[in-house]
Amino acid sequence: MLFPGGPIVDGVDQTDFGAAVGALADNPEIAHATTLVVIVGMLLHAYGFLALFALGRGQQGLMGLGLRFGLILSIFAWGIFAISQGKRILVIHLMQRADVAETADMRDFFETAALTSHTEMIGLLIGFMVIFPFATMLVGLGLAPRFEGLDLLKAACYGFIAIGALALVNFAYAMFISPGEPESHLLIHNLLSLIGSICLVIVGIGMYRGRSELVPDAT
């Protein structure tokens, strides 16, 4: 929410690539800082999910192979997201080079390169959006049956399932029914990702506290 061009800092329509790149160029320090924070966050997510990988050992169905496949998909998707943020860093750098270009031709070159890199970044983000629903649902379906009673942790796991399903519907609707209104679908996806992050924090707290459902039987 704090990255330039978002809802708080110099908000622009993210489907207007030129405006989005301009917002990054106007706030390079904030853009670099928020991008690095996102990359570190993705790495921490992946590290935490590796700790859940052993839960699928000896289990069948969704609690076994399904959970492991969901975790692998999640880590793969977050890797794509992290790479896209590397593209964002390149976009910021190119716009900084454009600001100090000695000639108009060099300025145009760097600005064109930045816009091209931004477009490629969007392509990577779409790849993340394709994988995200399936990965999230599989993780939820693999974790939820491990809990007997309905508590906050089990609700967070069911949240994964609901978020993944809604994200899949939202993406399919944007692709096949309403392709001319990407901004609203992007807003919905960002909201679902935010709720998913809250569910992930809840599960992480459960892991930190050593809940038996989130600890491998062998430990």
- pLDDT 10s digits, 172-218: 888 888 766 677 788 888 899 889 989 989 998 988 888 888 887 65
Whose tokens are 């993705």? That residue is: 42
Q: What is the pLDDT of residues 106-131, one digit of tens each?
A: 889 988 998 899 889 989 988 999 99
Q: Domain boundaries in the chain?
A: 17-214
Using alpha carbons only, what angle is made at residue 127 by residues 49 and 162, rounded to the nearest 5 degrees? 55
| Average pLDDT, integer, range 132-147 | 92
Closest to 90 in 3D by CA, of 31, 143, 38: 31
